[in-house]
Structure 1
Amino acid sequence: MSVAVIDRNDVVLRGRVSAPAEIRTLPSGDNLLTFRLVVRRPVPRARGQSVDVLSCITYDRALQRRMALWQPGDVVEVEGALQRRFWRTGTGTASVCEVNCRRGRKVPRSAGSSEERSA
């Protein structure tokens, strides 16, 4: 059985941008755009958080140009894969889990939508 049949790593998120995106140049020379997406949980816990703040990245330059224009509060939808990235620090190895986006779009706000009223 092929890996494509066994494994699947597809993430689709819709939420609000929490802060302006940042572009960093990695030691490898690659440019990495990072931003955080605030996504409401489908069923909030009785006590505790009602949202998740998720780290998203992209290495795709065309996508970086579009995402760099997103502003805090914009409602966006992204598609990608959950990945764990590693790097060396002065004390060892560090890692982070992120959504590596292959697509992203701003979701138009329709006047008076139920989503806006409940937000």
Structure 2
Amino acid sequence: MEHVNEIVLVGRLSGEPEWRALSGNDQVAVWRLIVEHRDARSPQDGIDTIRCVSYDPTIQAGVRTWSHGDLIEVRGALRHRFWRGPTGPRGLYEVEAASAVLRLHPAPREPAQKEDAMP
């Protein structure tokens, strides 16, 4: 059997996407998705916050239109990045997006209306 590294996530954007400069004029888009568990044993186990990235300018154009709370679908591969920090070796897991699309942009909430006081 061949090795396979394919990830499909559908979740809510946990904040505004971030942009990090790379060498030259390139940049990487970084965002986090909140993905709910169907079989959570407790509320603390009920969600995962998953870091996603894209180096692709075509995907990044779509990312620029996203807002906190949007429902996003990401397809890509799990990556484990390593580097040396001031306290020694460091590492993190992230999903490198091969595609990322907005599935739902929730309607803005209406401000709460005050009830008129009775005379």
Does the pair score TM above 0.5? Answer: yes
The answer on whether the counterparts of 2:70 and 2:105 sit within 8 Å (CA) in structure 1 is no
Matched, 1:58 2:47: no
- CA deviations 1:41-89 (Å, max 9, x no partner) are 0211146321111000111111112112210000010100000111221
In the alignment, which residue of structure 2 is the partner of 1:104?
Answer: 100
Letter in 2 for 1:57: V
In the alignment, which residue of structure 1 is the partner of 2:113?
Answer: none
What TM-score results when the alignment is normalised by the length of structure 2? 0.79
In the alignment, which residue of structure 1 is the partner of 2:83?
Answer: 87
In the alignment, which residue of structure 2 is the partner of 1:39?
Answer: 35
| Distance in 1 between residues matched to 2:105 and 2:21, nearest whole Å | 33
The answer on whether the counterparts of 1:74 and 1:106 sit within 8 Å (CA) in structure 2 is yes
How many residues align structurally?
106
Letter in 1 for 2:14: S
Structure 1 unaligned regions, length at least 5: 112-119
Matched, 1:24 2:20: yes
Matched, 1:76 2:72: yes
The answer on whether the counterparts of 2:69 and 2:105 sit within 8 Å (CA) in structure 1 is no
Task: Return structure 1 stretches of 4+ with deviation > 2 angstroms.
Answer: 46-49, 108-111
Larger-Rg structure: 2
| Distance in 2 between residues matched to 1:31 and 1:110, nearest whole Å | 28
Q: Going by fraction, where is helix more abundant, 1 or 2?
A: 1
Percent of pairs with identical residues: 36
Q: What's the Cα RMSD here?
A: 2.0
| Distance in 1 between residues matched to 2:69 and 2:62, nearest whole Å | 16
**How much has 1:92 moved relative to structure 2?**
2.1
